[in-house]
């Protein structure tokens, strides 16, 4: 217990010292202000802003953290400070853990500041429910930063050079930049890959702390114990890797039975809307079959596109206003990161939002199995059906016009009153 208290006190003292550096707090403050301003300017994007921030800030702060942790891992190993520290009776493994945890505490505050700015801006502009999604976004980005920090710190400590952090950063940037070609399970910011990256980063950190640092401090008496402890992370990493590979977004040829069935019924006015069963990101399922007899507004959108995300608010308002008359919006979020749909599902839009987890790209040429099956290659996409689920409208360019959308839906209700 006293060891824990001592560790906590050490972290507190060192974190306080780190945060006194204007080189750290000034950029953090400016970044938070920029995030707040960006959130205010994107107020009609609603809770989707939190989803975008979770991804973008996770990446930006994670990459910066790679460099910072790489540098910090070796800062206290030089002869000036390192000799003072190594002459102290603190255990090497505990020292590495405390040193890393100090960095995590510092980056938690820095990242938290940015999300606090976003949450406050959202609370004033969009409402409290949306700002709560910022909390989820913070959690998602925080895990990304923690993974990046552990990988960079551990590797740099092992290599005794900031090169460890630089290597992690370069590998990550390459994977982000080469999105189409790099395997999706290499993306350390994706929620579905955490099963792989959490044990890998913990393993590297454990290896650095239990084995390398103790060896360096000449404290290693029984190497088998730390070696086995570090090796324990191997099966965990393997299992996580299996899950990540299984969940990886792979565009399948829609020739299998289910997709083949959907593929035979492209989105064409007059034809029946291809049905779907999609996970909603937090354990539920979004099914077209649950909404028989309603006018469906099926909206396919990219989570990271703030322009398209604005329509969620319009759909939400239509759903609330005309829901009693049988109008049912259904969202389909396309994002390679499974966390996005999970956050949106909790965003308080008031209608089901499913996730097409096969989405591999949502940029200029979006790719997902559902889009391929629907023979669609443009996002966003809004499909309006009648009460028999026959496709009446397929809209791509008029969705941003709420008045036009309302007009179309009202016309449908007039034609098919309840």
Partner 1 sequence: MGVEVAQLSKVYDGRVRALDTVSFQAESGVLGLLGPNGSGKTTLMSIMATLLEPTTGTVLVDGLDVRKNKPEIRRRIGYLPQDVGLYPNLTVLETLEYMGLLYNLDDPADLRRRIDRSMERLNLTALRDRQVQTLSGGMRQRVALAQAILPEPSVLIVDEPTAGLDPEERIRVRSFFTDLARECLIVLSTHIVADIEAVASSLAVLRHGNLLYFGSPEELLASLGDRIWSFAQGEPGSKLPEGFLETGLYRLPGQIQVRGVAESRPCPGAELMPPNLEDAYVWLMTRDARREVGDTASKAPSDTKGKRK
- Judged by the rule CB under 8 A, the positions of this chain that interact with partner 1 are 2, 5-6, 9-10, 13-14, 16-18, 20-21, 78-91, 95, 217-219
Separation of alpha carbons 415 and 55, rounded Å: 43
Burial degree of 78 (CB within 10 A; 0-12, 13-18, 19+): exposed
**Minimum gap (Å) between residue 13 Cβ and partner 1:** 5
**Minimum gap (Å) between residue 6 Cβ and partner 1:** 5
Separation of alpha carbons 373 and 115, rounded Å: 38
**Minimum gap (Å) between residue 92 Cβ and partner 1:** 10
Separation of alpha carbons 397 and 387, rounded Å: 24
**Minimum gap (Å) between residue 1 Cβ and partner 1:** 10
**Minimum gap (Å) between residue 27 Cβ and partner 1:** 16
Cα atoms in the 13 Å half-sphere on the side-chain side of 87: 6
Give 103 or 331: the residue with its C-beta nearer to partner 1.
103
**Minimum gap (Å) between residue 2 Cβ and partner 1:** 4
Separation of alpha carbons 418 and 414, rounded Å: 9
Of the candidates 386, 374, 391, 384, the residue with the CA atom closest to the CA atom of residue 269:
391
Tokens 């290597």 identify what position? 167
The helix (run of H) or strand (run of E) holding residue 393 is strand 391-395
**Minimum gap (Å) between residue 103 Cβ and partner 1:** 14
Separation of alpha carbons 280 and 228, rounded Å: 39
Cα atoms in the 13 Å half-sphere on the side-chain side of 297: 27
Give CA separation, 414 vs 26, 382, 386, 395, 418, in Å.
Answer: 58, 20, 11, 20, 9
Separation of alpha carbons 139 and 342, rounded Å: 12
**Minimum gap (Å) between residue 71 Cβ and partner 1:** 14
Give CA separation, 407 vs 56, 263, 386, in Å.
Answer: 36, 30, 15
**Minimum gap (Å) between residue 64 Cβ and partner 1:** 19
How far out from the chain centre does Cα 404 lie?
Answer: 33
Retrieve residue 269's tokens. Answer: 């006015």
Give 15 or 286: the residue with its C-beta nearer to partner 1.
15
Of the candidates 271, 273, 397, 286, the residue with the CA atom closest to the CA atom of residue 333:
286
Give 99 or 311: the residue with its C-beta nearer to partner 1.
99
Give 24 or 135: the residue with its C-beta nearer to partner 1.
24
Give 7 or 323: the residue with its C-beta nearer to partner 1.
7
């Amino acid at each position: 217990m006293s060891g824990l208290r001592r560790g906590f006190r050490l972290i507190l003292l060192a974190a306080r010292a780190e945060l006194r550096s204007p080189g750290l707090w000034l950029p953090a403050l400016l970044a938070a202000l920029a995030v707040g301003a960006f959130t205010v300017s994107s107020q009609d994007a609603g809770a989707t802003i939190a989803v975008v921030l979770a991804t973008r800030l996770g990446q930006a702060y994670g990459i910066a953290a790679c460099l910072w942790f790489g540098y910090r891992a070796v800062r206290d190993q030089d002869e000036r400070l390192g000799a003072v520290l190594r002459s102290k009776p603190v255990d090497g493994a505990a020292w590495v853990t405390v040193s890393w945890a100090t960095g995590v505490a510092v980056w938690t505050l820095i990242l938290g500041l940015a999300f606090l700015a976003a949450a406050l801006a959202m609370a004033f502009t969009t409402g409290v429910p949306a700002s709560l999604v910022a909390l989820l976004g913070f959690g998602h980005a925080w895990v990304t930063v923690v993974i990046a920090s552990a990988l960079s710190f551990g590797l740099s400590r092992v290599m005794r050079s900031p090169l460890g952090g630089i290597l992690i950063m370069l590998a990550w940037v390459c994977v982000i930049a080469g999105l189409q070609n790099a395997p999706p399970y290499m993306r350390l910011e994706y929620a579905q890959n955490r099963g792989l990256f959490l044990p890998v980063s913990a393993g590297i950190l454990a290896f650095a702390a239990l084995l390398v640092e103790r060896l360096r401090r000449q404290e290693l008496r029984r190497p088998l114990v730390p070696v086995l402890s570090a090796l324990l992370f191997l099966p965990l990493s393997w299992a996580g890797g299996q899950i990540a590979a299984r969940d990886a977004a792979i565009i399948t040829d829609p020739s299998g039975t289910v997709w083949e069935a959907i593929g035979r019924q492209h989105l064409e006015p007059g034809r029946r809307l291809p049905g779907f069963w999609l996970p909603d990101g937090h354990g539920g399922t979004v099914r077209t079959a649950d909404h028989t007899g309603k006018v469906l507004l099926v909206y396919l959108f990219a989570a990271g596109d703030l322009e398209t995300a604005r329509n969620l608010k319009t759909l939400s308002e239509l759903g609330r206003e005309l829901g009693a008359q049988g109008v049912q919006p259904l969202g389909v979020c396309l994002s390679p990161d499974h966390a996005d749909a999970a956050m949106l599902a909790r965003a308080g839009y008031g209608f089901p939002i499913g996730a097409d987890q096969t989405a591999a790209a949502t940029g200029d040429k979006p790719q997902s199995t559902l889009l391929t099956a629907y023979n669609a290659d443009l996002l966003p996409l809004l499909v309006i059906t009648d009460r028999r689920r026959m496709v009446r409208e397929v809209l791509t360019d008029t969705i941003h016009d709420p008045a036009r959308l309302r007009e179309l839906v009202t016309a449908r209700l007039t034609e098919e009153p309840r």
